[in-house]
């Protein structure tokens, strides 16, 4: 398995992966959002949105999107790991862990010691991995 940065040639496979991720959370986005998000992800020099892809046997099998942003309580920026997805047939094979570790490495290189993310309370499969690679916080999320 190879973990690598997203590239322009990845659009179709990336879109299929992200569409599956969004379906897991019972949501969709418009074609405009797919296109704008992809453009931001591949414009590394001008965007704070980034992505890694997991590739196995010349097929994309996972993705992670992350966002670098300032934080009012810290001098350095922090990283928000927004989306993490692996195809069902490769789950349990280290894809999710490798993608998280790639974000950790990128965060270290950018001088961002803090990486955080959210998941649904009942996402037990993902939480088993998250409990091994991070510390759960006691914050509760509210939405407008």
Length of the chain: 144
Q: Give 84: exposed, middle or buried? Use CB within 10 Å, 0-12, 13-18, 19+.
A: buried
Q: 100: helix, coil or strand?
A: helix
Compute the distance between CA of residue 44 and CA of residue 94 in angstroms, rounded to an integer: 26
pLDDT tens per residue across span 86-122: 999 999 999 999 999 999 999 999 999 999 999 999 9
pLDDT tens per residue across span 55-70: 999 999 999 999 999 9
pTM for the predicted model, two decimal places: 0.94
Residue found under tokens 């989306």: 83
Q: Which two tokens stand for residue 28?
A: 């969709």
Whether the pLDDT of residue 142 is over 80: the answer is: yes
pLDDT at res. 140 = 85
Compute the distance between CA of residue 8 and CA of residue 61 in angstroms, rounded to an integer: 17
Residue 68 Cα distances to 55, 79, 107, angstroms: 24, 5, 8
């Amino acid at each position: 398995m190879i973990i690598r940065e997203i590239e322009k040639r990845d659009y179709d496979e990336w879109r299929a992966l992200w569409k599956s991720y969004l379906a897991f959370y019972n949501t969709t986005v418009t074609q405009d959002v797919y296109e704008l998000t992809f453009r931001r992800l591949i414009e590394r020099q001008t965007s704070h949105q980034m992505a890694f892809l997991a590739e196995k046997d010349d097929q994309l099998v996972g993705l992670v999107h992350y966002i670098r942003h300032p934080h009012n309580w810290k001098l350095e920026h922090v990283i928000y790991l927004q989306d993490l997805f692996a195809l069902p047939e490769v789950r349990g094979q280290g894809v999710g862990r490798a993608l998280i570790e790639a974000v950790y490495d990128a965060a270290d290189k950018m001088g961002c010691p803090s990486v955080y993310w959210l998941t649904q309370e009942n996402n037990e499969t993902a939480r088993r991995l998250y409990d091994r690679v991070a510390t759960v916080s006691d914050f509760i999320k509210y939405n407008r």
